[in-house]
């Protein structure tokens, strides 16, 4: 991999006078006196599918397991997830959702039928983790549930009854069945997805056909007193703008949001290894990751045509890296390691989502445990082990962005150019004002080799002190495993100095820094 001569990149959020610039300068100007839109905390959402060991072994081991658990939920994982302030959790799929029949997952466990998980390795699913187990988990985590309903192989009646079962407080047949199964009061269920990837594993439909299906299913999903559903239509795969256009026209008035899925994959036929990659592959990954901004912008433009008031949300309800499965793991279980490169992808993606928070109301990283770009990896040996991935640490460091007011910024840095001619800006930044008046600022130096000194100008804010954390490592392909669980971990950051009109920050190469300014 050869990084060609650096070129300057300027991104301006507003039509403002240019910063005085010289090659090699890295400058950020934050408009702390502006900012209108809150960063929806749901952008920090998660996704847990019945896939591999995400649910079984990852989140759930059952109450009789030798692994320490609370009512069947792994305690180590539960405690680590509580630290992240997970705002919303999507379940049961993914592709699994359109094969899932919820009534198989309620009632006495020994009477629950099993099924073959056709999408994911043919594993036998015993349905021991069902509606009660999921919704109780959300209560333990203090997050909103986001249910994906089965349009592909289910029925309207089945979906309507599921909503009644979960949310009715009346003397209705499904509420009675729920009480019989041990839960008196309904759960609060706000987010409901009507199908998943309807263009693919969710039924291979055309957008026109799906739009009609949405109307039919949506009609029978009744809001129960005190529980209004936020109805999410199954949206496009990344670059399929026609899907969004058709749905906006056909069902724009009936849905609250539409989803889009964006995975950071360069080549579906050759995904590449999670921890063995060249510098060139590293930069190509970041370039693909950053292309999400073009994708979001185009979907937003289409939505603006018929919904200029931005009533309808765009939910990036699956995103993340997708590498080859780790050798020796069960094919179809999508178990992959997670390196500093994945952490960089997470930081860059979150910085993009922040910018579009007026339309992007939710994002759900795929997935929570043991699958794709996971927060946590577990095993079940000798009482169970757990590692927090570099991606987990990014989510932890970024917690303060949840519900903070996004601040526009101008950025000037050099670009790194790959031998394929693809470019990646050397710096990604995002800033927001928290409810207590402090500022939170993220800075990611994508450059594999060079540290960068960033001059930050703050308009309308005078910091008295600055503190923060840095996530970095010697090599971009470093990772955490059960023998080295803290190989990559956040450390206190000391290289930010307050100056007259802002601050100067020296970022190590390939690092992510999050600062709080008070
Ligand atoms: O996250 C893994 C799979 O990716 C999901 O099941 C599906 O919706 C998507 O294609």
Per-residue pLDDT reduced to its tens digit, 449-487? 999 999 999 999 999 999 999 999 999 999 999 999 999
Report CA 260 to chain centroid distance, whole Å: 12
Which atom of ligand 1 has the smallest separation from the CA of 366? 1
Going by CA atoms, what residue is nearest to atom 9 of ligand 1? 94
d(CA 379, CA 61): 11
Going by CA atoms, what residue is nearest to atom 5 of ligand 1? 94
Going by CA atoms, what residue is nearest to atom 3 of ligand 1? 94
d(CA 442, CA 503): 14
Of the residues 42, 133, 144, 197, only one is catalytic, namely 197
Q: Which pLDDT band holds residue 277 (cuts at 50, 70, 90)?
A: very high
Report CA 417 to chain centroid distance, whole Å: 28
Q: Which pLDDT band holds residue 24 (cuts at 50, 70, 90)?
A: low
Q: What residues pair up with 38 in beta bridges, in sequence order?
A: 405
What is the reported pLDDT for 9?
A: 59
- pLDDT higher than threshold 90 for residue 107: yes
pTM above 0.75? Answer: yes
Q: Is 197 a catalytic residue?
A: yes
Nearest-CA neighbor of 252 among 329, 199, 305? 305
Tell me, in angstroms, the distance from the centre of ligand 1 to residue 500's CA: 49
Going by CA atoms, what residue is nearest to atom 2 of ligand 1? 94
HEC-encoded secondary structure of 427-482 = EEEEEEECCCCCEEEEEEECCCCCCEEEEEEEECCCCCCEEEEEECCCCCCCECCC
The answer, yes or no, to whether the previous bond of 92 is cis (omega within 30 of 0) is: yes
Which atom of ligand 1 has the smallest separation from the CA of 94? 6
- pLDDT higher than threshold 80 for residue 1: no
Which atom of ligand 1 has the smallest separation from the CA of 93? 6
pLDDT tens digits, 295-326: 999 999 999 999 999 999 999 999 999 999 99
Would you identify the CATH topology of the domain 8-37+405-517?
A: Immunoglobulin-like (2.60.40)
Nearest-CA neighbor of 388 among 482, 275, 274? 482
CB atoms within 10 A of CB 395: 23
Tallying the residues shown for the chain, one arrives at: 518
pLDDT tens digits, 5-20: 355 555 544 333 333 3
Q: Does residue 93 line the site of ligand 1, with CB under 6 A? A: yes
- pLDDT higher than threshold 50 for residue 399: yes
Q: In a 3-state reduction of DSSP, which class is residue 208?
A: helix
Which atom of ligand 1 has the smallest separation from the CA of 96? 6
513 within 8 A of 469, measured Cβ to Cβ: yes
What is the reported pLDDT for 501?
A: 83
DSSP secondary structure code for residue 41 in this structure? G
Domain segments of the chain as ranges: 8-37+405-517, 41-401
Average pLDDT of the segment spanning 161-171: 98
Q: Does residue 373 line the site of ligand 1, with CB under 6 A? A: no
Q: Which pLDDT band holds residue 22 (cuts at 50, 70, 90)?
A: very low
pLDDT tens digits, 52-83: 999 999 999 999 999 999 999 999 999 999 99
Q: Is 83 a catalytic residue?
A: no
Q: What is the DSSP annotation of 269-308?
A: T----SS---HHHHHHHHHHHHTHHHHHHHHHHHHHHH-T
What is the reported pLDDT for 10?
A: 53
d(CA 516, CA 462): 13
Tell me, in angstroms, the distance from the centre of ligand 1 to residue 69's CA: 28
Percent of the chain with pLDDT over 90: 93
What is the reported pLDDT for 11?
A: 59
Going by CA atoms, what residue is nearest to atom 8 of ligand 1? 94
Q: Is the dihedral of CA 104, 206, 256, 295 positive or negative?
A: positive
What is the reported pLDDT for 7?
A: 53
Tell me, in angstroms, the distance from the centre of ligand 1 to residue 95's CA: 6
DSSP secondary structure code for residue 224 in this structure? B
Average pLDDT of the segment spanning 349-371: 98
Mean of per-residue pLDDT scores for the chain:
95
144 within 8 A of 190, measured Cβ to Cβ: yes
Tell me, in angstroms, the distance from the centre of ligand 1 to residue 494's CA: 40
Q: If you count DSSP H runs as helices and E runs as strands, how many of each does the chain have, helices first?
A: 10, 27
Average pLDDT of the segment spanning 23-36: 88
Percent of the chain with pLDDT over 70: 95
Q: What is the DSSP annotation of 83-137?
A: TTT--EEEES-SGGGGG--GGGGSS-GGGPPPEE-TTTTTPEE---S-HHHHHHH
Q: Does residue 259 line the site of ligand 1, with CB under 6 A? A: no
Tell me, in angstroms, the distance from the centre of ligand 1 to residue 94's CA: 5
Q: Which pLDDT band holds residue 187 (cuts at 50, 70, 90)?
A: very high
Tell me, in angstroms, the distance from the centre of ligand 1 to residue 205's CA: 16
59 within 8 A of 369, measured Cβ to Cβ: yes
Q: Which pLDDT band holds residue 21 (cuts at 50, 70, 90)?
A: very low
Question: ∠ at Cα 343 (338, 348), nearest 5°?
Answer: 140
Instruction: From 51, 55, 237, 318, give the residue whose CB has the most ligand 1 atoms within 8 Å, as the site to mutate.
Output: 318
d(CA 475, CA 472): 8
Which atom of ligand 1 has the smallest separation from the CA of 320? 1
List, as own/partner pairs, every contact residues 157-162 make where C-beta atoms lie below 8 angstroms and the sequence separation is at least 24, other chains included: 157/220, 158/101, 158/102, 158/103, 159/194, 159/217, 159/220, 159/221, 160/220, 160/221, 160/222, 161/103, 162/102, 162/131
64 within 8 A of 379, measured Cβ to Cβ: no
507 within 8 A of 454, measured Cβ to Cβ: yes
Q: Does residue 95 line the site of ligand 1, with CB under 6 A? A: yes
Q: Does residue 197 line the site of ligand 1, with CB under 6 A? A: yes
d(CA 247, CA 512): 38
Domain covering 41-401: architecture: Alpha-Beta Barrel (3.20)
Which atom of ligand 1 has the smallest separation from the CA of 200? 10
Average pLDDT of the segment spanning 30-59: 97
pLDDT tens digits, 199-228: 999 999 999 999 999 999 999 999 999 999
Q: Does residue 49 line the site of ligand 1, with CB under 6 A? A: yes
Radius of gyration (C-alpha) of the chain in whole angstroms: 23
Q: Does residue 318 line the site of ligand 1, with CB under 6 A? A: yes
Going by CA atoms, what residue is nearest to atom 4 of ligand 1? 94
């Amino acid at each position: 991999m050869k990084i060609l001569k650096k070129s300057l990149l300027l991104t301006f959020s507003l039509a403002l006078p240019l910063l005085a610039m010289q090659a090699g300068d890295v400058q950020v100007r934050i408009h702390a006196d502006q900012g209108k839109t809150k960063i929806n905390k749901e952008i920090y959402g998660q996704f847990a599918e019945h896939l591999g060991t995400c649910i079984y072994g990852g989140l759930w081991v059952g109450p009789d397991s030798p692994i320490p658990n609370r009512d069947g939920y792994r305690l180590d994982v539960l405690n680590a997830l509580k630290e992240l302030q997970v705002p919303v959790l999507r379940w049961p799929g993914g592709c699994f959702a359109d094969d899932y029949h919820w009534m198989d997952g309620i009632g006495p466990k020994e009477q629950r039928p099993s099924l073959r998980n056709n999408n994911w390795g043919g594993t036998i699913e015993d349905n021991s983790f069902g509606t009660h187990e999921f919704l109780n988990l959300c209560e333990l985590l203090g997050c909103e549930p986001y249910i994906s309903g089965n349009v592909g192989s289910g029925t309207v009646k089945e979906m309507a009854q599921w909503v009644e079962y979960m949310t009715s407080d009346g003397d209705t047949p499904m509420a009675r069945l729920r009480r019989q199964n041990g839960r008196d009061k309904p759960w609060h269920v706000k987010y409901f997805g009507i199908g998943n990837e309807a263009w693919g594993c969710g039924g291979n439909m055309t957008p026109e056909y799906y739009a009609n299906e949405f109307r039919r299913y949506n009609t029978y999903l009744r809001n129960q007193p005190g529980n209004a559903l936020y109805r999410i239509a199954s949206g496009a795969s990344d670059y399929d703008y026609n899907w969004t256009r058709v749905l906006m026209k056909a069902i724009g008035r009936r849905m609250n949001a539409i989803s889009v899925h964006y995975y950071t994959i360069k080549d579906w036929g050759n995904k590449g290894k999670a921890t063995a990659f060249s510098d060139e592959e590293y930069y190509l990954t970041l370039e693909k990751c950053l292309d999400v901004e073009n994708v979001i912008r185009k979907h937003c433009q289409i939505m603006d045509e018929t919904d200029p008031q931005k009533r309808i949300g765009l939910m990036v309800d699956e995103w993340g890296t997708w590498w080859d499965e780790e050798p020796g793991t069960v094919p179809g279980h999508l178990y992959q390691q997670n390196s500093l490169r994945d952490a960089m992808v997470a930081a860059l993606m979150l910085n993009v989502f922040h910018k579009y928070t007026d339309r992007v109301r939710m994002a759900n990283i795929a997935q929570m445990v043991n699958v794709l770009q996971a927060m946590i990896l577990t095993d079940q040996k000798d009482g169970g082990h757990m590692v927090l991935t570099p991606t987990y640490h990014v989510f932890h460091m970024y917690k303060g962005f949840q519900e903070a007011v996004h601040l526009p910024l101008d950025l000037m840095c050099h670009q790194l150019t790959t031998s394929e001619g693809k470019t990646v800006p050397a710096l990604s930044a995002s800033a927001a004002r928290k409810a207590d008046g402090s500022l939170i600022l993220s800075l990611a130096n994508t450059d594999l080799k060079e540290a960068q000194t960033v001059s930050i100008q703050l308009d309308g804010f005078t910091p008295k002190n600055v503190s923060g954390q840095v996530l970095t490592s010697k090599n971009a392909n470093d990772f955490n495993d059960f023998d080295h669980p803290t190989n990559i971990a956040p450390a206190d950051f000391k290289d930010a100095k307050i100056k007259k009109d802002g601050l100067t920050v020296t970022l190590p190469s390939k690092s992510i820094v999050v600062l709080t300014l008070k």
